[in-house]
Amino acid sequence: MYLLTTKEKVVRIPPERLGEDLTDVINQLSWESFEGKIEGSDSLTLMVSHVEPVGQGRIVHGDGAVYQKVKYDSLVFRPQLQEVIEGVVVEVLKFGAFVRFGPLDGLLHISQIMDDRIDIDSDNGRLLGKDTKRDLKVGDKVRARIVALSLNERSPRESKIGLTMRQPGLGKIEWIEEERKKTSGGAA
């Protein structure tokens, strides 16, 4: 889920940057400090804008830098347990597939793809249902539910997000459309 939030934090302005235009310095340091970082273990900050200094900065004895409180707007991505997402398969492996949704990837374990035994077609880079003959490959659009979530604050790309498609209304988009046509008697 994407959210717009307003936050206040402190940026450290190094002494060697004090001669530059402070508005530009504060903007640049805010972008570098906050964008691409996970905050509060549940949201990834994608973009920082409208950065404004709040009050006067403080100088800490022995440091020489100015610590300036700033107020800013941020666009954050906050995935939630049980949230239904749509994404694209970006990698297929022996144990499942990775699905990119928003700025993160989630693991779709082979046991959570479909209610069918799955064969691995490593020559063609796809997972194939033994009875249904349904396949999953790189580039396929899917709808899945988040069933496990552990965001890594130090390296957001290494966050652990588990997905499932083994519920009604979930799966490869083509499969969902096929099921919809079957249940509605072929009418679109």
Task: Using the structure block, give the residue that is written with the tokens 């004895």.
Answer: 61
Say which CATH topology domain 84-183 has. Answer: OB fold (Dihydrolipoamide Acetyltransferase, E2P) (2.40.50)
pLDDT at 38: 87
Q: Taking 90 as the threshold, does the pLDDT of residue 41 lie above it?
A: no
pLDDT at 1: 84
Q: Which residues contact 130 (CB under 8 A, 6 or more apart)?
A: 116, 117, 118, 119
Q: Do 28 and 20 touch, CB atoms closer than 8 A?
A: no
DSSP E strand stretches across the chain: 2-13, 38-39, 43-53, 58-59, 66-77, 84-93, 96-101, 104-109, 118-121, 126-129, 135-137, 141-150, 160-164, 171-172
Q: How many CB atoms lie within 10 A of CB 72?
A: 23
Task: Please list the residue range(s) of the chain that carry CATH number 3.30.1490.120.
Answer: 2-77
pLDDT at 82: 95
pTM of the predicted model as reported, rounded to 2 decimal places: 0.78
Q: Convert the pLDDT of each residue in 42-53 to its tens digit.
A: 889 999 999 999
Tokens representing 10?
A: 């402190």
CA distances from 73 to 50, 69, 80 (A): 6, 14, 21
pLDDT at 124: 86
Averaged over 172-184, what is the pLDDT? 88
User: How far is 118 from 65, CA to CA, in rounded Å?
Assistant: 59
Task: Please list the residue range(s) of the chain that carry CATH number 2.40.50.140.
Answer: 84-183
SS3 52: strand
Q: Taking 70 as the threshold, does the pLDDT of residue 188 lie above it?
A: no
Say which CATH topology domain 2-77 has. Answer: Dna Ligase; domain 1 (3.30.1490)
Q: Taking 70 as the threshold, does the pLDDT of residue 186 lie above it?
A: no
pLDDT band at 187 (very low <50, low <70, confident <90, very high): low
pLDDT at 81: 94
Q: Convert the pLDDT of each residue in 99-157 to its tens digit.
A: 999 888 999 999 999 988 999 888 888 999 999 889 999 999 999 999 999 888 877 77
Q: Convert the pLDDT of each residue in 5-37 to its tens digit.
A: 999 999 999 999 999 999 999 999 999 999 988
